[in-house]
Amino acid sequence: MSLNLPQELLEKLRRHAAAQETPDELLTQLEKSELLSSDFPRRCGMTHEEVAADTAAYWRAKAADSAPASAVAIARGAIEGLGKANHAAAVPLLIRLWTNCPVEEIWMAAGAALLAIGTPEGLAALSTHLDEYDPDGRITQFAVIAIFRADPAGAFDRFIGYFDPQRLAAPGGKSVPFRVIKTLGPVGTDSKATLQWLDPNAPEFFRADPRWLELCVKLRPDKQLRDIISHVLDHVDPAELAAAVARVKAAEGNRSEVSSGAPLGDLVTRYCGGEHIEVWRELRRFPAIDGALREEALAVAVETMRRVAHCCDLAAERLSAEGWVALSGHLRSAPEPDLPKLLAALEKAAGSPVPPSLLAFWQVVGAVDFVRDYKQAQAAPALGLDVDLADMDPLAVDSAANPVAMWLDERSSGDLDAPSPLGLAPDYLHKVNVSGGDPYSIYLPFRGADPPFENEPHDLPFVDYLRLALRWGGFPGLEEYAGSASVQSFVAHMTADFEPF
């Protein structure tokens, strides 16, 4: 939308349209808007699947969206006035604007007005756009709230199909689940510390069907939904939450029955024979392992980390020769002397063993810190690279002491199954003393062999992250500069004699 008028004047036009006329006059004014003319562009209305198949088509249509700023301001003011007046006669016109208008300001205002008026016709029109693509998810959010308002008791059955694992994995598959969960939980507090919701009736929506609480409990391990689910569960009565957890566990059966404890019997032999990637892929097939299979996985992990330690020692020796000093003072640190005590405390609080890949790292490698000591007065050694330090993302994985202490301190009491992040490394910006994002983490409890190393840009399992980092000489950010001759020379030098793992 092109702005031809000062914003202050546009706001005056909007307020005038909303406040100076009767609802019937506002409706008449809106009917004359050029936004409703037959030759005005229509919203493209593509689904997530359609956009995934042809993203360029969506953005071409989006780029064509424009309207005179004064017409938008006047129409928006009229729409807001009609919504405040609960003017049901305006619903058909508002539906046209919601469905067809490509101007975001207008369809947002029309959607809000339809929710405010709340007729069955208006709510139905909003809900039919549940699957429409919108980068910010606001079209979906209007549709979700409309469905809840139209039939709170039946909403679960309307939405549950979107939580199917195959559907979640499809393009845009998390869009509806994310907006549903977001609607059910608080989004903040006001100046008086009163909880605020996307819809004031959200607590009633949540209580209308006990299956919502059980679904949230089941979905906590999902890394894309768990943070928003926590906002819901943090405000559930502890006794109700405990009862829901018990029901979910009973329905899923005893965890030992669904986990795999039978050894495969040849994993260590295969691993030592060169099937490094294949063996870890095989181990990751099992969402939960115990018994003999866990022992076999740990044996593979110990052999893996022996090789990781060897590679890290070679890299540390070469970095030290260049004058590279670690922030912690040690490019590699030996395992913690009181590691068994730390592991016992962590496993007790998590309610499950430490995953084999992380356990073996702490037992064999200890810690790695290739983060350059930015507190030093002298400039960092160039290492023969023409790459900014902020882009290098040096390998760093903490020893057990600090992560375990912080995890135990931050761990909420009660529900031991709720995943919590165990921070193992600063993100790439904090590594150069710049404020950045969340630490690279593993979420516990994790009952498989090799957990995801989360918040790190590659979104890899822990072993695969170590493999990637050491493939680039301990600086995985160099991947973005793979074509550079200096990077190629540096990597060849740093990785010489590295043992594959």
How would residue 170 be classed by pLDDT, with cut points 50, 70 and 90? confident
Residue 98, both tokens: 């919601």
Residue 48, both tokens: 């997530």
Q: Check residues 76 and 54 and name the one with the higher pLDDT.
A: 76
What integer pLDDT is reported at residue 413 of this predicted model? 52
What integer pLDDT is reported at residue 412 of this predicted model? 58
Residue ranges per domain, the chain? 7-150, 299-494
Q: List pLDDT tens digits, range 24-47.
A: 999 999 999 999 998 898 888 999
Which of 169-183, 203-217, 224-238, 298-312 has the weakest average pLDDT?
A: 224-238
In 10 A of CB 285, how many CB atoms?
Answer: 10
Q: List pLDDT tens digits, range 224-240.
A: 788 889 889 888 888 89
Chain centre distance of CA 332: 31
Please name the helix (run of DSSP H) or strand (run of DSSP E) that holds residue 217, with its range, or none. Answer: helix 211-219
Average of per-residue pLDDT across 353-370: 98
Q: What is the mean pLDDT of the chain?
A: 90
How would residue 417 be classed by pLDDT, with cut points 50, 70 and 90? low
Name every residue whose Cβ is closer than 8 Å to that of residue 367 and which is 6 or more positions away in sequence.
328, 330, 332, 333, 397, 398, 399
How would residue 89 be classed by pLDDT, with cut points 50, 70 and 90? very high
421: preceding bond cis by omega (within 30 degrees):
no
Q: List pLDDT tens digits, range 45-55.
A: 999 888 888 88
3-state DSSP assignment of residue 421: strand
What integer pLDDT is reported at residue 32 of this predicted model? 92
> In terms of C-beta density within 10 A (0-12 exposed, 13-18 middle, 19 or more buried), how is residue 88 classed?
middle
In 10 A of CB 474, how many CB atoms?
Answer: 28
DSSP string, 84-140: HTT-GGGHHHHHHHHHH---HHHHHHHHHHHHHH--HHHHHHHHTTTTB--TT-HHH
What integer pLDDT is reported at residue 19 of this predicted model? 58
Cα dihedral value 492, 494, 496, 499, nearest 10: -120
Average of per-residue pLDDT across 444-462: 92
What integer pLDDT is reported at residue 256 of this predicted model? 41
Average of per-residue pLDDT across 144-158: 96
Average of per-residue pLDDT across 446-470: 93
How would residue 222 be classed by pLDDT, with cut points 50, 70 and 90? confident
3-state DSSP assignment of residue 338: coil
> In terms of C-beta density within 10 A (0-12 exposed, 13-18 middle, 19 or more buried), how is residue 136 classed?
exposed
How would residue 437 be classed by pLDDT, with cut points 50, 70 and 90? confident
Contact 480, 378 (CB under 8 A): no
How would residue 1 be classed by pLDDT, with cut points 50, 70 and 90? very low
Q: List pLDDT tens digits, range 254-284.
A: 444 445 677 788 999 999 999 999 999 999 9
* Length of the chain in terms of residues written: 501
Residue 201, both tokens: 């009736």
Q: Check residues 460 and 359 and name the one with the higher pLDDT.
A: 359
How would residue 476 be classed by pLDDT, with cut points 50, 70 and 90? very high
Residue 163, both tokens: 């939580």
Average of per-residue pLDDT across 354-371: 98
Question: In this model, does residue 458 exceed pLDDT 90?
Answer: no
DSSP string, 22-50: -HHHHHHHHHT-GGGSTTSPPP---BHHH
What integer pLDDT is reported at residue 7 of this predicted model? 61
DSSP string, 208-275: T-THHHHHHHHHTT-TTTHHHHHHHHTTS-HHHHHHHHHHHHHHH--HHHHSB-S--S-HHHHHHTT-
Contact 461, 236 (CB under 8 A): no
Q: List pLDDT tens digits, range 124-141.
A: 999 999 999 998 899 999
Alpha carbons within 13 A on the beta-carbon side of 146? 27
What span, in angstroms and rounded, lies between the C-alpha atoms of 418 and 428? Answer: 27
Strand extents, DSSP E, 353-393: 367-369
Identity of the residue numbered 41: P
Average of per-residue pLDDT across 283-287: 91
Question: In this model, does residue 192 exceed pLDDT 70?
Answer: yes
